[in-house]
Amino acid sequence: MKISLAIVALALAVPAISFAQDSTAVSAEEKYPNTFSSGSANVSPFTNQSKRFNDWAISAGVGVPLVQSADLTSIKNGNGKNLFGYSAYISIDKAITHAFGINLQYDRGETRQGWFSTKKDAPVNASVYQQVGARTQYDAISLLGDVNISNILRRVDNKSPYRWALHAYGGLGTLAYRAYQKDENGQRLMTEIKPFKLGSMFAQAGAGVKFKVNRRLDIEGRVMYVMTGDDEFDGGGYKYSAINQREEQVSDNFFNATLGVSLKLGKHESHLMWHDPLQEVYYKLDVLANKNQDIEVCKKGDLDNDGVCDDWDRQLDTPAGARVDGAGVALDTDLDGVIDLYDKCVTVPGPVENGGCPVAPATTGPVTDDTRTLEGIEFDLNSDRILPSNTPILNNAVNYINSSSGTYTVVGATDTRGTDAYNQKLSERRANNVKNYLIKNGVESGKLNAIGKGKKDLKYPECDPATKCPEWKNRANRRVYFEAK
């Protein structure tokens, strides 16, 4: 029985040890980010090379088991004396997180209970007074959950590293044992339970305190409570025997106090169970607090002093006092070619030679201008939608066209990206959308005609398909403007 359990435990432990350094490897063929990632472009595969902490360990220890609730017991008054047995364990430990792990553990030991040690001679007439001695040899394999209580309860303001940790354990397994009883007639086997049977299942739970000696070695004191679920474990014989009818308890449970060591495996400096995530936060905050980094804004300066850095200023020679947009271009509200700084009629288009005002005042009659070219509006890439920011410009165009006696052509244009056929249709849609807007807002339909010129009518001709133009020039080429007939 003992040999078979040892073989099973070794068979389970060898693969775990073999893969302890490579258990986190995943396929490197996947593209990141993917469905199972956070969506960040900085996600990388979790491989053994990317690990930062060790997460495997081997633990072993020895101790003293004490039977507690049984008919022949070593620590309960009335049915026996204080007789101490021995125990030993070895386990393979895997940390899942900094606060939880799983241990595969093999236990072997012997409990001693009754009125005398079975290694000594029995008193005369011991069987008559039922003052017999007993011992139980056991082997057990169990799977234990390991909870690092210290990491769970760690204070958020604890900025110092720690070397003590409180752990809680609990799990299930299979228990095999041989229970012997001795009296003046000698020693005899009372009960034998084989492993991996329904009646051999048991549970154990307890707590331990670990001390971190160094990055490789921990020392732990542990107390476990083993629930056998069996009334014959103490050697009292079958459950209806005279000894097993002394007490009402039907489970011969015992305490197991052990002292052990843990050897942490891996190449990293720290083990996951000793990692406090807040320590990294404190360290990075301290680094940032002590780091003086000068942030240089506007490296190239602002030569025209318009409030827009030259790094992204589209007009580097803005006149002093002129209002500018976010790109540093002087504002021309009515798009008549005269910036607002010099425009005497800011909201009404007019020729440059007349200070940006109409040639004839609107109160004297319709404006006649057969050569007037009105600047227009720009569009987003691949879009014919009129932007809300353009409605004031179009409303001014409504007023100007209605005050004029002439007719106008609404001309649509695009940038150089895309095919000729696509851009031609896109420019026609842009021109028609502007035309319909003007008619809807009061312009006579007979005064307007709409045509599209595609990418053959560029405001910046240097932006041919072979030239990479800045985006502001491409945007300026995507426009609709007006021509007087």
Does residue 72 carry a pLDDT above 80?
yes
Is residue 415 within 8 Å of residue 474, measured between CB atoms?
yes
pLDDT at 374: 62
When the pLDDT of each residue in the chain is averaged and rounded to a whole number, the result is 81
Q: Which residue has the tokens 């393979």?
A: 92
Pick from 202-206, 315-319, 363-367, 390-394 the range whose average pLDDT is largest: 202-206
CA 248 to chain centre: 53
pLDDT in tens, 435-471: 999 999 888 888 899 999 888 888 888 887 767 777 7
Does residue 429 carry a pLDDT above 60?
yes
DSSP state of 245: G
pLDDT at 362: 41
The closest of 335, 363, 331, 365 to 350, measured between CA atoms, is: 335
Question: Is residue 397 classed as helix, strand or coil in its secondary structure?
Answer: helix
pLDDT at 107: 97
Q: What is the mean pLDDT of residues 372-389?
A: 77
pLDDT at 27: 43
> Binning pLDDT at 50, 70 and 90, where does residue 78 land?
low
- Cα Rg of the chain, angstroms: 45
pLDDT at 58: 97
Does residue 250 carry a pLDDT above 70?
yes
Least confident of 80-84, 205-209, 364-368: 364-368
In DSSP notation, 215-280 reads SSEEEEEEEEEEE---SSTTS--STTSTGGGSSS----EEEEEEEEEEEEESSSSSBGGG--HHHH
pTM of the predicted model, to two decimals?
0.52
Does residue 18 carry a pLDDT above 60?
no
The closest of 103, 253, 96, 94 to 171, measured between CA atoms, is: 103
In our burial notation (b when 16+ CB lie closer than 10 A, e otherwise), range 354-365 reads: eebbbebebeee
